[in-house]
């Protein structure tokens, strides 16, 4: 054939899928990280915050397994247990992690600055809102309930328990698209605070937006950030932003307050026939 037919979507963004912890709630993504560190400590193995944060965004059993595969954690486990980690060990740590998380998650599930206003701005443009998370069902339900009390109610929510595989598989994004009747993928934006969130968006073929200041890559509470020297803050923020860009983010914002402007930019790209 001498000609090949191609098609370009030139409409606007129809759906934004948001991660929960570190993106719309839980400043610095504190609830899961503390449960992870304590869970390993309960097994006699010290794990650093940095090591535990690396796979953040994944389904939590897979997250624990990923941490156990780090060289320093493997060696620490051997030193304590005189053997390799087994799936049964991961099962036990996941059960303990689940209890620790459920005990603390509600206290950490406060909405982050700018979330309500940004969501209202998107809804004004007719954009649908979905929530997704690597949490299991019980934890996801608590977060959604807490957020609803503060005025954030997505049109659809899902979690890793509801799909064949959690992030970086694209299934939660596709599930949201199916349930809300949204297509093509060019009309969808995925917003998250971890490299795994960015990888998930790429796997789904949608736009990816990273949130740097309030999320896992900074890993600090609002009070800790306010106490930082301005130069230290700028250095840490630059590092967080770079990590998200390197993971494939099309755009990186510091806080949710900047998201409506980014959506406007994506709409401009779409009018020109650009794809994620």
The Cα–Cα gap between 1 and 254 comes to: 48
Which of these, 75, 71, 80, lies nearest to 41 by C-alpha position?
A: 80
Task: Please tell me which residue in 19, 26, 193, 197 is annotated as part of the active site.
Answer: 19
81: burial class by Cβ within 10 Å (0-12, 13-18, 19+)?
A: middle
State the DSSP code for 155.
S
Does the annotation count 65 as an active-site position?
A: no
Please state whether the peptide bond connecting residue 209 to the residue before it is cis, i.e. omega within 30 degrees of 0.
Answer: no
Closest CA to 115 of 258, 251, 265: 258
Helices 30-42, 60-68: inter-axial angle, 10-degree rounding: 50
CA 250 to chain centre: 15
Tell me which residue of 87, 170, 172 sits closest to 137, measured CA to CA: 172
| 19 is an active site residue | yes
253 Cβ contact partners less than 8 Å away, ≥ 6 residues apart: 209, 210, 211, 212, 259, 262
Q: Tell me if the bond preceding 184 is cis, omega within 30° of 0.
A: yes
Among the options 60, 65, 108, 128, which is catalytic?
Answer: 60
Classify 2 as helix, strand or coil.
coil
Residues with catalytic roles: 19, 60
């Amino acid at each position: 054939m001498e000609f090949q037919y191609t098609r370009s979507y030139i409409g606007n963004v129809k759906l934004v899928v948001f991660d929960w912890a570190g993106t719309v709630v839980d400043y610095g993504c504190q609830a899961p990280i503390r449960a992870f560190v304590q869970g390993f400590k309960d097994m006699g193995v010290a794990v650093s915050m940095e090591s535990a944060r690396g796979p953040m965004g994944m389904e939590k059993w897979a997250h624990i397994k990923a941490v156990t595969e780090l060289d320093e954690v493997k060696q620490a486990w051997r030193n304590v247990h005189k053997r390799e980690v087994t799936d049964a060990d991961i099962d036990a740590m996941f059960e303990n992690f689940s209890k620790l998380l459920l005990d603390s998650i509600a206290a950490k599930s406060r909405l982050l600055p700018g979330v309500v206003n940004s969501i209202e701005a998107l809804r004004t443009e007719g954009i649908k809102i979905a929530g997704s998370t690597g949490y299991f069902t019980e934890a996801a339900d608590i977060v959604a309930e807490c957020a609803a009390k503060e005025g954030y109610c997505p049109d659809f929510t899902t979690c890793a328990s509801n799909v064949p595989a959690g992030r970086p598989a694209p299934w939660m994004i596709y599930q949201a698209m199916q349930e809300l009747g949204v297509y093509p993928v060019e009309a969808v934006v995925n917003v998250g605070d971890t490299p795994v969130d960015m990888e998930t968006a790429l796997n789904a073929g949608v736009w990816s937006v990273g949130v740097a200041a309030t999320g896992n890559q900074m890993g600090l509470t609002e009070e800790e950030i306010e106490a930082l020297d301005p130069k230290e803050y700028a250095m840490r923020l630059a590092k967080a932003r770079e990590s998200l860009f390197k993971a494939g983010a099309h755009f990186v914002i510091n806080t949710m307050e900047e998201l409506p402007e980014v959506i406007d930019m994506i709409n401009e790209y779409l009018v020109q026939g650009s794809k994620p």
